[in-house]
Amino acid sequence: MFSKACEYGIRATLHIAVESQQERRVSLKDIALAIDSPEAFTGKILQQLVHNNIIHSLKGPTGGFQVEQLDLEQTTLSKIVEAIDGNSIMVGCGLGLKQCNEKEPCPLHDQFKIIREQLKYMLENTTIYEMAIKLEHR
């Protein structure tokens, strides 16, 4: 579904979000430890998220990553996925046909469409905040 990079990105964002709600900043090392991901690779992914204004970073000692209160509530899962995996999950024929559309649908077109719409709804209507809350309570 999502690439490994994207999975790490989501997990990292959620962990940062949880900590940010307690006014705590988190270092890359702590993040990688918490979400069980390779540190350097995770660092790369966090950069993508920083560049997309999904999370914010501060250098130096006491530095680290955090997510702004506003972003917490407004940023949706779709934005994270988009930043890392692009829109590949939402486009293209499920069977890889170049010529597949409403007029010339592949044999799975309609069923794929329904599933994609559900997926899209989930991505676009789930905020970081909602997910972080669930994560804290589990």
Footprint on this chain of its own copies (rule: CB under 8 A)? 1-2, 4, 7-8, 10-11, 14, 36, 77, 94-98, 104-108, 111, 114-115, 118-119, 122, 126, 130-132, 134-135, 138
Residues that bind DNA (CB under 7 A): 3-5, 8, 26-29, 37-41, 43-44, 46-47, 50-51, 57-65
86 binding partner (options DNA, its own copies, none; Cβ < 5 to 8 Å by kind)? none
How far apart CA 106 and CA 126 sit, in angstroms, is 30
Cβ burial, residue 12 (10 Å; 0-12/13-18/19+): buried
Q: Whose Cβ is closer to its own copies: residue 63's or residue 73's?
A: 73
CB 132 within 8 A of CB 72: yes
